């Protein structure tokens, strides 16, 4: 079974990201993946504080070694991203920039959300560009959630509708294909 890490993007108290991440993790687990959710708020990585460029993998700090091992395990990712000031949130950028090779030749699905009408798609565009620089390929198929308050209540319970369920299935079908293909690329040394 392919290992999938579902990674959130926000760390503020009361954040909605984990409620959405929990949902897509459960769906992925019944879709051919062994999926694990990573809440960046719980992971609590400091701002990138490694002295040596991560491409050299000479990690000094225990938090980096653990983060590296977790991402190394993964065959694929799903990023669950909010939109902060028209881009993706800084904690996700920070978590990504800690590592280089661990992201490479692996595919990523994206679930974006916002309280407004645009579903976080502006954040998606910058996230996709940054992932490509690390040789990580973000799929065309996505789940984009607009007007988040329709789907998450005050206790952070997340409910979906038919469109979200359908888009999640389409994205996960594609993610299985890309995961298989990119695993072959990683094994072809
Ligand atoms: C710092 C900050 C910046 C935001 N910027 C945007 C934005 O650019 N576009 C948007 O649609 N919503 C924006 N929002 C509203 C978010 O869509 C909404 O608060 C969402 O729940 C944030 O995700 P989180 O709950 O996981 O933190 C912003 C919220 C915060 C806290």
Q: What average pLDDT does range 127-152 have in this prediction?
A: 97
Please list, in sequence order, all residues whose beta carbon lies within 8 angstroms of the beta carbon of residue 57, skipping any fewer than 6 positions away.
Answer: 68, 100, 101
Query: Ligand 1, atom 14: nearest CA belongs to which residue?
Result: 84
Say if pTM beats, i.e. exceeds, 0.95. yes
Question: CA geometry: angle at 28 spanning 16 and 19, to 5°?
Answer: 10
Question: CA geometry: angle at 39 spanning 37 and 45, to 5°?
Answer: 130
Q: What average pLDDT does range 77-88 have in this prediction?
A: 98
CATH superfamily, domain 2-187, is Flavodoxin domain (3.40.50.360)
What is residue 129's three-state secondary structure? helix
pLDDT tens readout for residues 16-68: 999 999 999 999 999 999 999 999 999 999 999 999 999 999 999 999 999 99
CB-defined site of ligand 1, < 6 Å: 10, 12, 15-17, 82-86, 114-116, 118, 148
Domain ranges of the chain: 2-187
Q: How far is CA 130 from CA 87, 94, 96, 116, in A?
A: 11, 12, 9, 24
Q: Which of 12, 14, 90, 115 to mutate to test the pocket of ligand 1 (most atoms within 8 A of CB)?
A: 115
């Amino acid at each position: 079974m392919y290992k999938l890490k579902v990674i959130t993007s926000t760390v503020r108290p009361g954040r909605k990201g984990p409620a959405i991440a929990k949902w897509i993790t459960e769906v992925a687990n019944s879709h051919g993946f062994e999926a694990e959710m990573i809440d960046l708020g719980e992971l609590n990585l400091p701002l990138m504080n490694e002295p040596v460029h991560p491409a050299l993998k000479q990690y000094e700090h225990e938090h980096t070694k653990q983060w590296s091992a977790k991402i190394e395990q993964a065959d694929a990712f799903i990023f669950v991203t909010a939109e902060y000031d028209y881009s993706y949130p800084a904690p996700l950028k920070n978590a990504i920039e800690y590592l280089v090779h661990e992201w490479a030749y692996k595919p990523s699905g994206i679930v974006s959300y916002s309280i407004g009408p645009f579903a976080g798609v502006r954040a998606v565009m910058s996230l996709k560009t940054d992932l490509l620089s690390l040789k990580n390929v973000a799929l065309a198929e996505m789940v984009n959630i607009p007007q988040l308050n329709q789907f998450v209540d005050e206790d952070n319970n997340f409910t979906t509708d038919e469109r979200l369920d359908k888009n999640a299935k389409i994205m996960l079908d594609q993610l299985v294909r890309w995961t298989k293909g990119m695993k072959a690329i990683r094994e072809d040394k």
